Structure 1
């Protein structure tokens, strides 16, 4: 059997993001993916057995990219607030540069697709975001952060970043340093003690 072409597989996944950015996750279907990627329907089924498997692969792909960017320059030894600001800014920048991916992931986590491998996805999330869990524990030990469960805090943090990026992308919030600082400070006030 001929090995699969990773470039073709990436084109298929990128097509999923493009379609999600235009039509939402509900608008994703194999015919649209085929047209957008310029790859025959039969070839798509060579890479993915069905749409659900493709959507799961797209989710893993974007989660990996966002996580890598989110922790760029991360250092557990710098002050907690500065670490959170770096994570906030890294994630915000990624979301603004990759709007279609963020539309996809935001809709994915609110869809039934998230339930297909929920336990595995939670475990993978915890592993990929161990730095954030460690940072929260450090902040709580230092008395800088409120004593909520780490997962609850992470949901709040991600929600704040999502709201800021969506507001900027939709031009409800101006893309200005002071406004971005204000968005971070509001998030920080919600998690700091």
Structure 2
């Protein structure tokens, strides 16, 4: 048997992001994915069993890429506020540069798909985001971060970054340094 082509697999996943960005996750179909990817539906089934598997793997792939981007140049040894700002800037930049993936991940997390392997996904999320968990714990030990469960703080942080990026993408407000600084200041005041 011939090995699977990783480029075709990537085309399939990118098609899911693109279609979600245009029409929403609920409207994504196997025929739409295969047409957008330029791959026959039968070939698509060689790579994936069904739409649910494609969506699950698309989520895992984009979550992995976003997480890698978030922690680029991260250093827990610098002050907590400065480290958190670095994560914020990286996350915001990733979301703004990858709009289709951003729409996909947001819709995925609001859909029933998130419940399919929720425990496994949460464990993977905690593992991937260990630097943020550690940073928040460091801030709590220093008395500058509220003594709340880390997942509550992370949800607040994540929600603020999502809202900011969505507002910029939808042109509700302009992308400029003042907006970026003000948004981070609100995040910081909310968790400190």
Counterpart of 2:104?
Answer: 104
Shift of 1:100: 0.3
Counterpart of 1:37?
Answer: 37
What whole-Å deviation, never above 9, does each CA across 1:122-143 have from its counterpart, x for those lacking one?
Answer: 0000000000000000000000
Q: How does 1:22-171 map to 2 (within 5 A)?
A: 22-171=22-171
Counterpart of 1:10?
Answer: 10
Shift of 1:155: 0.6
Aligned residues: 192
Shift of 1:19: 0.2
Separation in 2, partners of 1:52, 1:30 = 10
- What RMSD in Å do the two structures reach over aligned CA positions? 0.5
Separation in 2, partners of 1:173, 1:138 = 34
Q: Give the TM-score normalised by structure 1.
A: 0.99
Runs of at least 4 residues of structure 1 off by over 6 A? none
The answer to whether residue 155 in structure 2 is matched with residue 178 in structure 1 is: no
Shift of 1:27: 1.2
Separation in 2, partners of 1:180, 1:85 = 10
Ranges in structure 1 where 5+ consecutive residues have no aligned partner: none
Separation in 2, partners of 1:174, 1:58 = 30
3-state SS, counterpart of residue 133 of structure 1: helix
Separation in 2, partners of 1:62, 1:28 = 17
What whole-Å deviation, never above 9, does each CA across 1:88-129 have from its counterpart, x for those lacking one?
Answer: 000000000000001000010110000000000000000000
Shift of 1:153: 0.6
What whole-Å deviation, never above 9, does each CA across 1:2-50 have from its counterpart, x for those lacking one?
Answer: 1110010000000000000001111111010011100000011000000
What whole-Å deviation, never above 9, does each CA across 1:28-87 have from its counterpart, x for those lacking one?
Answer: 110100111000000110000000000000000000000000000000100000001000
Separation in 2, partners of 1:58, 1:173 = 30
Separation in 2, partners of 1:28, 1:183 = 33
